[in-house]
Amino acid sequence: MSTHQSGKGILTRAEQIGALQQAEGLNKPEFKIAALNGSTSQKFAESTAPKAALVTTKSYDEAVEMLFQDKIDALIADYPYCAFTAFRYKDKGLIAGQSKLTFEPLGIAVSEDALLINWLQNFMMALDGSGQLKLMNQPWFKEGSWIKELP
């Protein structure tokens, strides 16, 4: 059965994205990265970029504000959050890294009902096989046109 794939992502200012494409990427002492305190993103940053200056925040809003104020160079968070925030603040120069830093397949839990599981597997395979599943992701993670409809 097909699953949605997520992972850790990077949110930064457009002018910083070049520095992230170099061999050392985030793992430089002069690079300041933020992650939500106590999160898996914090653990990922600590293990992947031990040389970088890690700033932990109480909220994503706090971290994004720090990006706007040039207090950090990047935020490590779940990729969907990075993509959403980059779309939302495109006019302020935020950008999400194009690739996910980790691979995290997601799925749904259902009761042990053989008929339901069979139906769901068939439904997901049909969506995936027809290309509809890929098309359904397009507006959310590639275009971001839906963001202008938010209050």
Q: What is the pLDDT of residues 66-115, one digit of tens each?
A: 999 999 999 999 988 998 898 888 889 998 876 677 777 777 788 899 99
Segment (H or E) for 36: strand 32-36
Residue-wise pLDDT for 11-46, tens only, equals 999 887 766 655 467 888 989 999 999 999 999 999
List of domains in the chain: 6-106 (3.40.190.10), 108-151 (no CATH)
Q: For position 2, what pLDDT does the model report? A: 47
CA nearest to 17, candidates 8, 26, 27, 7: 26
53 pLDDT exceeds 90? yes
Which is more confident, 48 or 18? Answer: 48
1 pLDDT exceeds 50? no
Ramachandran category for residue 31: left, alpha or beta (phi over 0 → left; psi -120 to 50 → alpha): beta
SS3 assignment, position 91: helix
The secondary structure of 42-71, three-state, reads: HHHHHHHCCCCEEEEECCHHHHHHHHHCCC
Q: For position 7, what pLDDT does the model report? A: 82
Residue-wise pLDDT for 108-124, tens only, equals 788 899 999 999 989 98
Q: For position 22, what pLDDT does the model report? A: 53
64 pLDDT exceeds 90? yes
